[in-house]
Structure 1
Amino acid sequence: MEILEAFDLTRCAHSAARLAGVDEKTVARYVAIRDAGGDPLVRTRRPRSIDPFLSKIEELVDRSQGKVRADVVHQRLVAMGFGGTERTTRRAVAEVKTAWRAGNRRSYRPWVAEPGLWLQVDWGEGPRVGGRRTQLFCAWLAWSRFRVVIPAWDQTLGTLVSCLDATLRRLGGVPTYLLTDNPKTVTIDRVAGVPIRHPDIVAAGRHYGCKVETCQPFDPESKGGVEHTVKVAKADLVPTSANLLPAYATFTELADACFQWCERVNTRAHREIKAAPVDRLAVERRHLHRLPAEPHAVALGEERLVDDDQTIRFGSVRYSTPPGHVGSKVWCRVVGDELAIVARTSAGLAEIARHELSTPGNPRIVDEHYPHHPGGNLPRQPRPRPRTPEEVAFLGLGEGANRWLVEAAAAGATRVRSKMARAVELASLVGLARVDEALGLAAIAGRFGDQDLASILDHLATSGIPDDVVIADENHSAQPGTSSWGRFGA
């Protein structure tokens, strides 16, 4: 700049050279570059040995979309007669790649989210639980940055809609659009680049009041919010050597860890919005659509018909259901290590039973589902059903008479009918209540002899109700033993 300033002052190259302390030819060269519109400070690149091959390098870089390696290019140039070093080739390839990326760089328009508009969902590989693979369903509400992560065993359509239903109920509403990628559960085909939606996912979207949209194939940048959610969730939840997390013992433990992770990330301030997502969600809920009271049928699981024995079959295993659903349809869905059974009740769709998953040959039967069959697989006690007037008169004495008949029959008592008639006669003399109480004590003590009932009535009349009842067996027998003979001759 001093040279050019001296020339502008003197308008003479010789005088400007003396003022700037340089050669006169240097002044003339800088002035000529400036008058030609160039930059005097830019150094002129000297000719290189690789210059004749630059067109070939540009061709290879353009054909490979900027991915070709410099060593591969060098091998091609050597075969064409290039005698330079690989270092020269690497520098030339780097320059050409930089120029190619500058001309083919993708430009982005800043995406400004609106409240209640977009929900992005995606899947991520989860940790192994008991040697079995799991999946992480990740959802990201764009405006509030609220994140939801739900573990699952698979990525089937039923699991997808079920996780979507759980996410929407956690959000408290439905956004306008649901953005996801292109799995077979969402996009079944593409015709002329147009995605063909799965009819069931379209029906689910209509049920919840949102439209299902998909991103461009192999372009995760079009839904970067949920992609980042997947990355962070996997880094924090999947045990690796970097985070030193222990392995999960059960699926429930993994589900609890996912819920705690969501609580933690949604209650801290987000770097972009400088606010907690849970606070922003409270504002965005006013812009969300109303959530249906019942989930979509696909989210409920697979349909099953309840058989006459109140069981359904799922995975070749029988599972019991409560009374009142025989012949009706129910829905079965795997939730972690359990099978949830949902049926339509008077209050709408509700879960009626939940069983641990089992294997073929090991049915899951709950005794509470069969109140009219107490005892499960054990022998059932007979229920007295009187048919003759004598039987009606005896069993009419009360519960003690019913218990005496059942116990006497099990003990093999003899002359039961005559003893029943004797009890009815005694009841007419001393009262029904006293005889019924005596029959109950006789059943407990196992006393079914001819005179046992009268003896018990006498005892009740003189001593009252006993504190304890001695059961008639060999340990409490009144028969004299032979133990004294054991000392004979000692």
Structure 2
Amino acid sequence: MDILEAFDLTRCAHSAAELAGVDEKTVARYVAIRDAGGDPFTPARRARGIDPFLGKIEELVANSQGRVRADVVHQRLVAMGFTGTDRTTRRAVAEAKAAWKAGHRRKYRPWTPEPGMWMQFDWGEGPRVGGRRTQLFCAWLSWSRFRVVLPAWDQTLGTLVSCVDATLRRIGGAPTYLLTDNPRTVTMDRVAGVPVRHPEIVAAGRYYGCKVETCEPFDPESKGGAEHTVKIAKADLVPTTANLLPAYSTFADLADACVEWCERVNARTHRETGAAPDVRLATELQHLHVLPAEPHAIALGEERLVDDDQTIRFGSVRYSTPDGHQGSKVWARVTGDELVIVGDTTAGLTEIARHVLSTPGSPRIDDAHYPHHPGGNLPRPPKVRARTPEEVAFLALGEGARRWLVEAAATGVTRIRVKMARAVELAAILDAGRVDDALGLAAIAGRFAEDDLASILDHLTSSGPPSDVVVADEAHSAQPGTSGWEVFGQ
């Protein structure tokens, strides 16, 4: 500044140099930089060996729209005679990409949604349940930021409409527009850039009073709200090494986790709006359309009535359903080689069962649907129910008494009631717990004779609990055999 001030005062480089105490050439250089609009403190750029190739680098970056890799550019330059290192090429390519992106940067405009206008939804890859892939249906109400995540097995049209129906019923109304990307279930084709809607999804949207819109192909930024919902839902629900979540054992566990996640994020204050989505949803509900009483037929399939044995008939084949739907209506639809059963639950219309399609005479019964019944076709164990005072007194001794009764009855023991009365008398004299333990050992060893119980009690008193139990077998003899004489004389 002293040099420039001296020059402005004298208008002579020689005189300004004498006043500032510098060389005359220095004054001339600084004045020339200032007159050209430059910064005198910026060092001059030195010539580099890659300068003759900068035009080619800019050409490659422009043709690839900023996507070309630096190693590919370096190979091209080496073939053209460049002798520098790949490090020099990487720096030059990075500068060229930064300059190209600065001139081609996408322009954004803040979007201010209106209440009751837009809902965005998208699919995300869910966790594996039992080794099988799942999908996460993620929806986002744009104004209130209310999020809904539903698990599903696939992305078929019936599943899509079913998830949309469940989402709208959880929200409590339908918006004007539904925005998503361009899967085949929504957009069948594009003619001259115009999306051709799937007629079934159009009918479903008309049924709910919504118009289905799609974003630009391969442009997820045009529906960023749903994309962000998918991202944070997968980060919190899909087990990874980052969140250390355990694997889901059943599909119901995944559904419960999704409900818990939605409750948590919708009750949390949103950074953009400064209010919880649950609070803003109460305001947005005033601008939503009323939902029809029944879901659309695509989302459901064919109506069936659940029998008392928790099964439905589809194609003359019985398929089981979970407990709690007896006597109620469910809906079944075929998806690929599977039958999907949808029921009306507290969370809305959700998938309650899924079976591989079968043929008449081969029912599909899932034992998990009958937790109150033992699986398989084996004989059922008898249910022990006391009916007389004597039976009540005997079974009150404990689990050993119940086991003794079941085993003794199965082996055809006589005078069971007399032996039960004898056990009750011994329990009154001795400790009831000891008698119950002795009855349990007698049941395991198969000893049901008249004096076996007293003998076992004497043994427990003198020797304590046995380390092992020998099961009585009338076909076995303790008499030593004569096999040892076979080697005599050899």
Q: TM-score, normalised by structure 1?
A: 0.66
Give the aligned residue type for 1:362: P
Aligned equivalents of 1:193, 1:36: Cα separation in 2? 49
Q: Is the 8 A contact 1:358 1:364 kept in 2?
A: no
User: Counterpart in 1 of 2:211?
Assistant: 211
1:74 aligns with 74
1:245 Cα deviation after fit: 1.1
Alpha-carbon deviations, 1:185-242, whole Å to 9, x = none? 1011111111100001000100111100001111111111111111111111111121
Q: Distance in 1 between matches of 2:111 and 2:143?
A: 11
Match for residue 127 of structure 2?
127
CA distance in 1, matches of 2:246, 2:316: 31
Q: Deviations over 1:320-367 (max 9, x none)?
A: 998999xxxx8415999983468xxxxxxx99x9777477312569xx
In structure 2, do the counterparts of structure 1 residues 331 and 30 end up closer, same or farther at CA, with 3 Å as the change threshold? Answer: same
Distance across 2 between alignment mates of 1:241 and 1:285: 39
CA distance in 2, matches of 1:298, 1:222: 28
Q: Does 1:53 align with 2:53?
A: yes
Q: Percent identity?
A: 73
CA distance in 2, matches of 1:124, 1:23: 70
What SS does the corresponding residue of 1:164 show, helix, strand or coil?
helix
Q: Deviations over 1:58-104 (max 9, x none)?
A: 11111222122222212211111122222222222121111111111
Call closer, same or farther: CA 1:11–1:291 in 2, change over 3 Å: same
- 1:38 Cα shift? 3.9
Structure 1, gaps ≥5 residues long: 343-349, 366-473, 476-490
2:109 alignment partner in structure 1 = 109
Could you tell me which residue of structure 1 aligns to residue 262 of structure 2?
A: 262
SS at match of 2:14: helix
Whether contact under 8 Å (2:173, 2:288) holds in the other structure is: yes
- The one-letter amino acid of 2:29's match is R
3-state SS of the aligned residue for 1:82? coil
Q: Stretches of 4+ moved more than 4 A in 1?
A: 302-306, 314-325, 333-338, 353-359
The 8 Å contact of residues 248 and 254 in structure 2, kept in 1 or not, is answered as yes
8 Å contact from structure 2 (residues 162, 300) kept in 1: yes
Corresponding letter in the other structure for 1:312: R
Deviates more, 1:125-134 or 1:36-45: 36-45
Q: What letter matches 1:262 in structure 2? A: C
Partner of 2:313: 312
Residue of structure 1 in register with 2:426 after alignment? none
Give, in angstroms, the shift of residue 21 of structure 1: 2.3
TM-score w.r.t. the length of structure 2 is 0.66
User: In the alignment, residue 200 of structure 1 is paired with which amino acid?
Assistant: E
Tell me the CA shift for residue 55 of structure 1.
1.3
Measure, in 1, the Cα distance between the counterparts of 2:334 and 2:127: 18
Report the CA distance between 1:314 and its aligned residue: 5.6
Q: Counterpart of 2:341 in structure 1: which amino acid? A: L
- Aligned residue identity for 2:217: P
- Tell whether the 8 Å contact from 1:181 to 1:216 is kept in structure 2 after alignment: yes
Unpaired stretches in structure 2, ≥5 consecutive residues: 367-413, 416-490
Q: Quick check: 1:362 aligned with 2:366?
A: no
Q: 1:143 to 1:314 in 2, by over 3 A?
A: farther
Q: Which residue of 2 aligns with 1:173?
A: 173
| Amino acid of the structure 2 residue aligned with 1:4 | L
Shift of 1:31: 1.9
Compute the RMSD of aligned alpha carbons: 3.4
Q: Which moved more, 1:163-172 or 1:49-58?
A: 49-58
1:43 Cα deviation from its structure 2 partner: 3.3
- Could you say which residue in structure 1 is the equivalent of 2:196? 196
Moved more, 218-227 or 68-77: 68-77
Distance 2:250 2:312 in 1: 27
**Contact preservation (8 Å) 1:181, 1:217:** yes
Partner residue in 2 for 1:118: 118
Deviation sequence 1:229-287 (CA, Å, 0-9, x none): 11111111111121111111111111111000000000011111111110010111111
The answer on whether the counterparts of 1:187 and 1:198 sit within 8 Å (CA) in structure 2 is: yes
Cα distance in 1 for partners of 2:266, 2:91 equals: 47
Query: Is residue 278 of structure 1 aligned with residue 258 of structure 2?
Result: no
